[in-house]
Amino acid sequence: MDGMSLIVGLGNPGAKYEQTRHNAGFMLAELLARRWQGSWSAEDRFQSRLARVDVGGRKAILCQPQTFMNLSGEAVGALMAYYRLGIGQLLVVVDDADLPLGAVRMRPGGSAGGHHGLESIAQHAGGTDYARIRLGIGRQAETDRRIAGYVLGKFQLADVPLLEKVLNRAADQAACWLAEGCQKAMNRFNGTIEGTKDS
């Protein structure tokens, strides 16, 4: 992928939201920063924590918006405008309650699917044709659409080993996207890790 890329993990800032299901995107951004030896800095003008990395000669910015989930697009839009990034240079990582825990699914674009963070990004990034990785977090009950309490809850201790596998696969997928593009990253890494269960 030519030029600078922007990889955004979505979540909510603050200690009370750490390790919650809705912060799966933040968790992946943290893992990528560790893998790629990036150092985080708070940058108020972008309302974000950023880590600038060089991955095999490919430059990328890792971002954790500090706007809270529903306003994530404000941070993403400001970064894209400042660095003059096209929508094809953006990868967003989000939790998805409609996928089982263990699922990793990249798409080159598409609807927000009711995810307010993605809705905000579409408004500020100029459309929906940006790559996204959805990390399955399961759903408490198939009939219960009121899931705010669930997604803002912490992962169960029993889920942590599976979560770590998911994050590592998604990190590999993000690296593949950066090096070889969306199609190859989808073909190689989309799927559900065996031995999973719905949360």
Strands in the chain per DSSP E = 5-9, 41-43, 48-55, 58-65, 90-96, 103-107, 131-136, 191-192
Task: Produce one character per residue of 71-80: b if its CB has 16 or more CB atoms within 10 Å, e if not.
Answer: bbbbbbbbbb
22 is catalytic: yes
CA distance 150 to 45: 32
> Beta strands 90-96 and 131-136: pairing type?
parallel
The band of 110, judged by pLDDT with boundaries at 50, 70 and 90, is very high
Q: Which of 22, 115, 116, 124 is catalytic?
A: 22
Cα 56 vs. chain centroid, distance in angstroms?
A: 21
Give 56's DSSP letter.
Answer: T
The band of 114, judged by pLDDT with boundaries at 50, 70 and 90, is confident
pTM of this prediction?
Answer: 0.92
> 5-192: which CATH number, 3.30.1340.10, 1.10.10.410, 1.10.10.10, 3.40.50.1470?
3.40.50.1470
Q: Is the pLDDT of residue 106 over 60?
A: yes
pLDDT digits (tens, 9 = 90+) for 19-71: 999 999 999 999 999 999 999 999 999 999 999 999 999 999 999 999 999 99
Q: Which long-range CB contacts under 8 A does 14-18 form with residues at least 24 apart?
A: 17/152
